[in-house]
Structure 1
Amino acid sequence: MIESIDFNAFSENHPGNHVIGTAPAQIQRVSIDSRKIQNGSGTLFVALRGTRHSGWHFATDAYRQQVRNFLLPVEAQSEELKTELLGANLLFCPDPLQALQALAQTNRQAFKGRVVGITGSNGKTIVKEWLAQVLSENYRVFKNPKSYNSQIGVPLSALGIESGHQIALLEAGISQPGEMKRLASIIQPTLGIFTSIGTAHDENFQNLDQKIDEKCRLFAGCRLIIYRQDVEKISAYLEQHFPPNQRVGWSEKIGADYTLTVKPNGKKGSRILLLGRDLSTYTFTTAFRDPASLENIRHVIVAGLVLGMSPPSLQKGLDLLRTVDMRLTAKQGKNQCRILDDSYNNDLAGLDIALEFMRQQGKPAGKKVLILSEMLQVGVESAVYEEIARRVSRQGIDLFVGVGKTFDSYRKLFPVDSKFYSDTDNLIQHLSDLNLQGDLVLVKGARAFEFERVVRLLEAHVHDTVLEINLNSLRHNFNHYRSKLPAGTKIMVMVKAFAYGSGSAEIAHHLHQIGADYLSVAYPDEGVYLRERGVELPIMVMNSAARHLDLLLRYRLEPVVYDLQTLRELAATTPGDLSIHLELDTGMRRLGLEENDLESVAALLQDHPKIRITGLFSHLAAADEAIHEAFSRQQLALFDRLSQFLMQKVTGRPLRHVLNSAGIIRFPEYALDMVRLGIGLFGVEINGMEQEKLQPAITLKTVVSQVRKLKKGETIGYGRKGRMYADGEIATLAIGYADGYDRRFGNGKAYVQIKGKKAWTIGTVCMDMCMVDVTGLDVREGDTVILFGKNPSLQQLAAWSKTIPYELLTGIGRRVKRLYVLD
């Protein structure tokens, strides 16, 4: 954490900078978002350039929150801004991102502890999180929160390293050549870990060798580099470019620095047998059995040993990793509560992320409750608890619950009605005293507190089948489509049909945070539902009538008008100003005003100024099919002509929007004022043209209810449709067609994924369950099952059942629990 910044000295070292104000800056934190400022007087606000809005447009918002230190782009210089930020330290620089990275580099160089730099295609975040948990048994550890491993995330993380930490863990993720050089100059690791190499971002590199070369730039100054020797490409590169005394290889085969072989440990999980180069041996145990987790754990074991941990201390840390979801998830709770589960770890950076996620959920019907464990191995204790108290106050927490003996010394920092418990058992005994009803409850604790037990008690007892919505993937997909649009083009997101089955209110709040401009629903009651849950974005309603006028006005909903009669009725009955969107029929032949209606529409609007046209739009009938491109272009040309006619007749400037997800990809030149993003948000590129650039945002999961052995010739399920053609095993899954797993998937027409392996359906899909053949897969009751996600994909399932992804998504039953994940 930078304690002071000499702006003048910093400016002298970076040509092109210009400083206003000379007061020494006492910086406790850096912020790039005016909405997330915790302590304004101790914050440096860095105004980064954005694709839609530049950060300096929000400098005055930060100033109103007592921020007095600003890092701004040179184009922000103006007398008006200097006046608005009177008395503040202003550093104007050519590239605020480079300046932020330079500050982070300065802070890293001041750190005297050890720094571990982690990179790879897969597993780097998990290795970092697990290694932090294990090292915390012996050391005060800093780690970058979640997957903050980008050109912005790494410097923000590095600025959080304090002198009290002993080890810092920083992961570095890249997607383009040239990116690692900047990250390496910030991280400057003493120990490097190369987790794996895969296909992510392959399209941006010439080949795998170039990608490995780019990632290995992180290790230029490392004393030691940990890697799996069995991965030939990684091993060959490191052996060619780094001397033996710099490499620490592990393998399942004898001859590496560490030999780590895996053996089954019955129902308890796995045993990992360690043989060191000095012939020392040790046996570790873990509850994990899947190959990916076992590989990540072996990276952790080797890193722990290299950093000086004893095997018994390592085992103590490994015991705490059992079946914990590291991600921040939103779950349905008892008594109409919503539970935000972040029960894996606890530090200030992670608390900031969790509190921001809490804010994004909107205002609850009841209280905002924070259940927080004490923070272990975090440096200067008093300063940490003062920071926690400040966050509790700023975030408007209605009830604070502190768990752990350390809180006794700092009770006076927290509101008088706060509750404190010595340990998790004590909290559980008095959980009913919290009187949780309709509340939004954030549960955040260090792993040692086992807060997953608290979450289980608070969580509603619902179906084992879950629809998991990854909010990071949603953001990625949203930004991909936004990158296709000209600056200034707005984005309307379709959240009709329960946001394609994913949960409209939760998705809507997240969309507001990531920059959506508009929402669209099918019917007024969907809009009312969103407004009652605190959604403030403008909302267009596709299907409504004059009889809904009261709801439309009361809840600030903007109806679509697609016929003259409805327009006349609204004009005659509206008591106040009403914003509408006019739908024009350009060839869909479903709904919409036709060309011969437009003179009457224009006259009616001129006579009734209370009706304001906010939008003009049309639907493309076949934008996702190249065979119909000529027809689509006819539609686009007709829409342009009809909308131009109306715009000359009405006052104001309506937003014109005609492109859907498919149209954004095929016809970006027709983006106009706004586009409508639907299925693409969830990672389905319906054209098939840019699918590899999107991330699957929705995963349907269930569990194995039972595994049973069957003999050759035995039959399975209704109608005896399934038959065993050899001795084997089947697993019964806790999902059926009532949950949205279509009957057409039965009898070997689809597969699921269990432990990374395919298991094909056998027998007919039932209402509440289905069966799959798991012969030879070592499947057990309680194992997680992927119905769709990355593999199999939603598109694959749709093809197998001869339908479309939309139908499958919207068919997911309401009894299926929705989990919102921020990883």
Structure 2
Amino acid sequence: MVEIRPSWVSSSQVSIPSNLRTWVQIDLAAFRHNLKAIRARIDPTAGIIAVVKADAYGHGITRVAPAIADQVDLFAVANVLEANELAALGLGRDILLLGPCLPDERQAAVDAGYIVSVSSAEEAAAVAALAGTRPCTLNLKVDTGMGRMGCWHEDAEEVVRQIVKLPNLGAFHVSTHLPAPDEDADFTREELEGFGRLAAQIKAIAPQAKFHALNSAGIFEFAGFAPDYVRAGLVLYGSCYPDIYQPQIQPALSWKARLVLVRDVPPGRSVSYGRTFFTPHQMRIATVPVGYADGFPRQVSGHDTAVLVHGRRCLVLGRVTMDQILVDVTDVPEAQVGDEVVLIGRQGGEEILARELADKAGTISWHIFTGLKPRGSYFYYDSDTGSTV
């Protein structure tokens, strides 16, 4: 947290020190809302695995995970390092490792009791051997089209036959990952139907097996294919692909800054690196102290990208630089130094979603969230109770 001076302003239920140039606000109530939206779509017997890898998608795992622990069944992270940080919070939930372990990571994963993802019977046996007589918890990944890890689905039944012979096999998950639930509905439906048939075959061999396939887009598009668990990632944070479901969820994150300079600029002046923009007429141009070093993507330059000032959309002019962007506040005559600027979030009747910024940059919301590293502070609050954390 930055050193705070006595001067403060209020920003969406959070008091922000007036000497702070940029900051992120996280509304913990949004997570509860989004979990309810997920529960409403899936079978009531299905559990929720909260995916909190990459520092909870850039939202802060040490604050987000405790806020939702009593509303989810498991947590999932990418690797042992992330799992150790999560386990240290003592939240009492099992932790699934989504990615494969290095051979020298396996012992630590087994000792900690993590659910280790494997792609073959040989890998499963190697992990189980490190557990000795202790139960070994495994997740067999099945490749149904992602091609990233896992045994090929046509080989999965035989792989399971080998895994169930392990004398110390404990909890056992079988999962797949959907590569295109929001882009190729026909393939995804066929993929899920095939995984469902495979699950029935495996259930006869391993009655204790738990199955999961649906990621965030899958939860909304194919909710009927949720046998034991769903894995809630992006949707948990209030962003959704396809965007037709966005009204059902609430973004948890807002990114804001302040105007640090406002100038009147005559026509014919160049703006920012490369001189790609010239003022066509007299303009008021404001400087915002964020740039690509903070996670505001340089790729949005020249693509009619907007920020919000006094509830109005103001275009980013010229190229995004490392530390600053320049915005057109000609139509916001009341704009002055110190005013709040919204880069992601809502102000007045306008809203800029992470997806909008991602689209302008030719990327995805996941990339925007996990790439945020503003040189400011994170503030956590609960809009339902009005409290800050």
2:366 to 797, 806, 813: 806
Q: How does 1:622-771 map to 2 (within 5 A)?
A: 622-625=180-183, 628-650=184-206, 652-747=207-302, 749-771=304-326
Residue 499 of structure 1 pairs with residue 59 of structure 2: no
Query: What's the counterpart of residue 158 of structure 1?
Result: none
Residue 566 of structure 1 pairs with residue 252 of structure 2: no
Helix, strand or coil at the partner of 1:580: strand
Question: Per-residue CA shift, 1:604-656, capped at 9, x if unaligned?
Answer: 3343221224311111121112xx22211211122112222222223x52221
Pairwise CA distance, 1:582: 1.0
Q: How does 1:338-357 map to 2 (within 5 A)?
A: none
Question: Per-residue CA shift, 1:144-195, capped at 9, x if unaligned?
Answer: xxxxxxxxxxxxxxxxxxxxxxxxxxxxxxxxxxxxxxxxxxxxxxxxxxxx
CA distance in 1, matches of 2:221, 2:138: 28
Aligned Cα RMSD in Å? 2.3
CA distance in 1, matches of 2:311, 2:154: 59
Helix, strand or coil at the partner of 2:287: strand
Pairwise CA distance, 1:326: 7.2
Q: Cα gap change, 1:322/1:589 in structure 2, threshold over 3 Å: closer, same or farther?
A: closer
CA distance in 1, matches of 2:74, 2:323: 37
Query: What's the counterpart of residue 527 of structure 1?
Result: 83
Please state which structure has a larger fraction of its residues in strand: 2
CA distance in 1, matches of 2:282, 2:374: 37
Helix, strand or coil at the partner of 2:224: helix
Pairwise CA distance, 1:596: 5.0
Task: Name the amino acid aligned to 1:526.
Answer: E
Partners of 1:582 and 1:613 within 8 A in 2: no
Please state which structure has a larger fraction of its residues in helix: 1
Q: Cα gap change, 1:816/1:524 in structure 2, threshold over 3 Å: closer, same or farther?
A: farther
Q: Cα gap change, 1:592/1:326 in structure 2, threshold over 3 Å: closer, same or farther?
A: closer
Partners of 2:128 and 2:136 within 8 A in 1: no
1:621 to 169, 179, 194: 179
Query: What's the counterpart of residue 608 of structure 1?
Result: 166
Pairwise CA distance, 1:599: 5.2
Q: How does 1:429-578 map to 2 (within 5 A)?
A: 464-513=21-70, 515-543=71-99, 544-575=101-132, 576-578=134-136
CA distance in 2, matches of 1:562, 1:464: 47
Question: Per-residue CA shift, 1:517-574, capped at 9, x if unaligned?
Answer: 1111111100101112333321101122442123213333211112333213113332
CA distance in 1, matches of 2:216, 2:33: 15
Q: Cα gap change, 1:692/1:607 in structure 2, threshold over 3 Å: closer, same or farther?
A: closer
Q: Cα gap change, 1:644/1:471 in structure 2, threshold over 3 Å: closer, same or farther?
A: same
Pairwise CA distance, 1:678: 1.1
CA distance in 2, matches of 1:596, 1:723: 60
Question: Per-residue CA shift, 1:246-294, capped at 9, x if unaligned?
Answer: xxxxxxxxxxxxxxxxxxxxxxxxxxxxxxxxxxxxxxxxxxxxxxxxx
Task: Name the amino acid aligned to 1:502.
Answer: H
Q: How does 1:137-216 map to 2 (within 5 A)?
A: none
Pairwise CA distance, 1:683: 1.9
Q: Cα gap change, 1:794/1:813 in structure 2, threshold over 3 Å: closer, same or farther?
A: same
Partners of 1:505 and 1:535 within 8 A in 2: no
Question: Per-residue CA shift, 1:193-232, capped at 9, x if unaligned?
Answer: xxxxxxxxxxxxxxxxxxxxxxxxxxxxxxxxxxxxxxxx
CA distance in 2, matches of 1:485, 1:773: 45
Helix, strand or coil at the partner of 1:702: strand
Helix, strand or coil at the partner of 2:239: coil
CA distance in 2, matches of 1:738, 1:520: 28
1:792 to 352, 362, 379: 352
Q: Cα gap change, 1:815/1:569 in structure 2, threshold over 3 Å: closer, same or farther?
A: farther
Q: How does 1:148-297 map to 2 (within 5 A)?
A: none
Pairwise CA distance, 1:502: 0.9
Residue 323 of structure 1 pairs with residue 13 of structure 2: no
Partners of 2:121 and 2:162 within 8 A in 1: no
CA distance in 2, matches of 1:814, 1:761: 18
CA distance in 1, matches of 2:10, 2:156: 60
Partners of 1:739 and 1:816 within 8 A in 2: no
Helix, strand or coil at the partner of 1:668: coil
**Runs of 5+ in structure 1 lacking a partner?**
1-320, 330-340, 342-451
CA distance in 2, matches of 1:468, 1:678: 19
Helix, strand or coil at the partner of 1:323: strand
Task: Name the amino acid aligned to 1:649.
Answer: I
CA distance in 2, matches of 1:603, 1:761: 58
Partners of 2:144 and 2:152 within 8 A in 1: yes
Query: What's the counterpart of residue 386 of structure 2?
Result: none
Partners of 1:737 and 1:767 within 8 A in 2: yes
Helix, strand or coil at the partner of 2:317: coil
Helix, strand or coil at the partner of 2:115: strand
Task: Name the amino acid aligned to 1:622.
Answer: A
Partners of 2:287 and 2:325 within 8 A in 1: yes
Structure possessing the higher relative contact order (Cα contacts under 8 Å, 6 or more residues apart): 2
CA distance in 2, matches of 1:553, 1:591: 20
CA distance in 2, matches of 1:546, 1:577: 19
Query: What's the counterpart of residue 202 of structure 1?
Result: none
Helix, strand or coil at the partner of 1:680: helix
CA distance in 2, matches of 1:617, 1:699: 33
Helix, strand or coil at the partner of 2:284: strand
Task: Name the amino acid aligned to 1:623.
Answer: P
CA distance in 1, matches of 2:161, 2:45: 31
Helix, strand or coil at the partner of 1:612: strand
Task: Name the amino acid aligned to 1:817.
Answer: S
Task: Name the amino acid aligned to 1:801.
Answer: A
Partners of 1:549 and 1:574 within 8 A in 2: no
Pairwise CA distance, 1:710: 1.3
Residue correspondences, number: 370
Partners of 1:564 and 1:593 within 8 A in 2: no
Query: What's the counterpart of residue 99 of structure 1?
Result: none
**Runs of 5+ in structure 2 lacking a partner?**
1-6, 384-389
Task: Name the amino acid aligned to 1:640.
Answer: G
Larger radius of gyration: 1
Pairwise CA distance, 1:598: 3.5
Helix, strand or coil at the partner of 1:557: coil
Query: What's the counterpart of residue 337 of structure 1?
Result: none
Query: What's the counterpart of residue 284 of structure 1?
Result: none
